[in-house]
Protein backbone atom coordinates (compact mmCIF):
# COMPACT_ATOMS: atom_id res chain seq x y z
CA UNK A 1 0.00 0.00 0.00
CA UNK A 2 1.52 3.32 -1.06
CA UNK A 3 0.15 6.14 1.06
CA UNK A 4 3.06 8.52 1.55
CA UNK A 5 4.56 11.24 -0.62
CA UNK A 6 7.34 8.87 -1.70
CA UNK A 7 4.80 6.34 -3.09
CA UNK A 8 6.74 3.34 -1.79
CA UNK A 9 4.89 0.14 -1.08
CA UNK A 10 5.52 -3.17 0.62
CA UNK A 11 4.41 -6.73 0.05
CA UNK A 12 3.23 -9.22 2.64
CA UNK A 13 2.53 -12.90 2.04
CA UNK A 14 0.58 -14.36 4.93
CA UNK A 15 0.60 -18.13 5.46
CA UNK A 16 -1.12 -19.95 8.28
CA UNK A 17 1.15 -21.42 10.94
CA UNK A 18 -1.01 -24.55 10.95
CA UNK A 19 0.43 -25.88 7.71
CA UNK A 20 3.88 -27.39 7.23
CA UNK A 21 5.49 -24.39 5.50
CA UNK A 22 9.22 -24.24 4.82
CA UNK A 23 10.74 -21.38 2.82
CA UNK A 24 13.62 -22.53 0.62
CA UNK A 25 14.66 -19.67 -1.70
CA UNK A 26 13.73 -15.99 -1.95
CA UNK A 27 14.81 -14.14 -5.12
CA UNK A 28 14.22 -10.48 -5.94
CA UNK A 29 15.54 -8.10 -8.58
CA UNK A 30 17.61 -5.00 -7.81
CA UNK A 31 14.86 -2.61 -8.93
CA UNK A 32 12.24 -4.25 -6.71
CA UNK A 33 9.95 -5.29 -9.56
CA UNK A 34 9.48 -8.88 -8.45
CA UNK A 35 9.85 -11.24 -5.52
CA UNK A 36 9.98 -14.98 -6.15
CA UNK A 37 9.85 -17.38 -3.25
CA UNK A 38 10.04 -21.16 -3.40
CA UNK A 39 8.51 -23.15 -0.58
CA UNK A 40 7.53 -26.56 0.51
CA UNK A 41 4.05 -27.04 1.92
CA UNK A 42 3.11 -30.52 3.09
CA UNK A 43 6.15 -31.87 1.20
CA UNK A 44 4.93 -30.30 -2.06
CA UNK A 45 7.18 -27.75 -3.79
CA UNK A 46 5.51 -24.51 -4.89
CA UNK A 47 6.62 -21.13 -6.21
CA UNK A 48 4.95 -17.81 -5.37
CA UNK A 49 5.81 -14.77 -7.44
CA UNK A 50 4.75 -11.16 -6.94
CA UNK A 51 5.43 -8.87 -9.91
CA UNK A 52 5.07 -5.09 -9.89
CA UNK A 53 3.96 -3.97 -13.34
CA UNK A 54 3.65 -0.50 -14.77
CA UNK A 55 0.16 0.50 -15.93
CA UNK A 56 1.30 0.96 -19.50
CA UNK A 57 2.56 -2.02 -21.50
CA UNK A 58 1.55 -4.44 -18.71
CA UNK A 59 1.02 -7.50 -20.92
CA UNK A 60 4.37 -7.18 -22.67
CA UNK A 61 6.15 -6.53 -19.36
CA UNK A 62 4.52 -9.58 -17.71
CA UNK A 63 5.47 -11.83 -20.62
CA UNK A 64 9.06 -10.55 -20.55
CA UNK A 65 9.44 -11.08 -16.77
CA UNK A 66 7.91 -14.56 -16.83
CA UNK A 67 10.21 -15.53 -19.71
CA UNK A 68 13.21 -14.28 -17.72
CA UNK A 69 12.10 -16.23 -14.64
CA UNK A 70 11.08 -19.39 -16.49
CA UNK A 71 14.13 -21.40 -15.38
CA UNK A 72 13.69 -20.40 -11.74
CA UNK A 73 9.95 -21.03 -11.65
Mean of the pLDDT values across residues 44-57? 80
- The total number of structural domains in the chain stands at 1
pLDDT tens digit string along 23-34? Answer: 788 888 887 778
Domain that holds residue 36: 1-73
Between 66 and 10, residue with greater pLDDT: 66
The yes-or-no verdict on residue 2 having pLDDT over 80 is no
8 A C-beta contact, residue 57 and residue 48:
no
Q: Cα(36)–Cα(50) distance, rounded to whole angstroms?
A: 7
Q: In whole angstroms, how far apart are CA 38 and each of 4, 7, 17?
A: 31, 28, 17
Mean of the pLDDT values across residues 15-42? 80
8 A C-beta contact, residue 3 and residue 40:
no
pTM of the model: 0.60
Amino acid sequence: HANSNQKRAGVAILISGKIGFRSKIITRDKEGHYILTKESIHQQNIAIINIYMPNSRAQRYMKQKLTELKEEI
